[in-house]
Amino acid sequence: MNSQTSEPITLDGEVSRRGLMLVLSSPSGAGKTTLSRLLLAEDPDLIMSVSVTTRPKRPGEQAGVDYEFVDRTTFDLMVNRRQLLEHAKVFDHYYGTPVDPVEAALAAGRDVLFDIDWQGAQQLKQAKDADLASIFILPPSTKELEQRLKSRAQDSDEVVARRMSEASGEISRWSDYDYIIVNHDVEDALEQVRAILTAERLKRARQTYLVNFVKRLQDGQ
């Protein structure tokens, strides 16, 4: 769904294709947030899934843009009402993906980008495998990962140390993903994500418009 017009993308009045769900996961600090931001800025057909979280807002974060910040009671209510496509506890806090914006975007032929952890990716795979393409971003080295976490200056030393110790557990999930990118360089990694997105959009099953298009070709129209 286009955030400005909410009009579907159409060809000859038909929705040209079903949108896809592009999941980006990585240990914190491997660069997925930067990659997501760059990709969204250049691609009008891609929207970000804004998760709900019980985590406190970090400096610089915006409610409704980075996350919807909710309390635990609201989060539990959303789970009970089945308003979340997936949800998980990551580190000390709860995170989840609201279902309605995702379904609306897919039906309108827009793609949705998810910055979620391996637990969420696994749940999406079970629930919506046909719509999913998943990418795991690896850091080039442990040292580089630590440097990136420290340079964010958003988290305390204690949180950085904790995230470093969690990183190897997260990295062990790499083999559950469709695509793996080692983020040596942001521009190179971005190019690789673009290539994946292009190929995934061209998959036959996603090009819903083709059935009628080919029929017209066969009819000589």
Positions touching ligand 5GP (CB under 6 A) are 28, 51, 55, 86, 88, 90, 95-97, 115-117, 119-120
Residue pointed to by tokens 């083999």: 175
CB 90 to ligand 5GP: min, Å: 4
CA separation for the pair 9, 103 (Å, rounded): 15
Nearer to ligand 5GP, 111 or 117 (CB): 117
Nearer to ligand 5GP, 100 or 219 (CB): 100
Shortest CB 46 distance to ligand 5GP, Å: 17
Q: Which is nearer to ligand 5GP, 17 or 163 (CB)?
A: 163
Please tell me whether residue 16 adopts helix, strand or coil conformation: coil
Q: Which is nearer to ligand 5GP, 28 or 192 (CB)?
A: 28
Cβ-based nearer residue to ligand 5GP, 22 or 209: 22
Residue whose beta carbon is closest to ligand 5GP: 120
CA 47 to CA 3: how far, in whole Å? 8
Cα–Cα dist 62/44, whole Å: 21
Q: Can you tell me the distance from the alpha carbon of 198 to that of 43, in angstroms, rounded to the nearest whole number? A: 11
Residues 6+ apart with CB under 8 A from 2: 44, 108, 110
Q: How far is the CB of 218 from ligand 5GP (least distance, A)?
A: 44
Least Cβ distance, residue 74 to ligand 5GP (angstroms): 14
Q: Shortest gap between Cβ of 105 and ligand 5GP (angstroms)?
A: 15
**Nearer CB in complex with ligand 5GP: 109/120:** 120
Token pair for 45: 């057909």
CB of residue 117 to ligand 5GP, shortest distance in Å = 4
CB-based contact 102:48 (threshold 8 Å): no
Identify the helix (H) or strand (E) that includes residue 52: strand 52-53
Euclidean distance between CA atoms 32 and 143, whole angstroms = 17
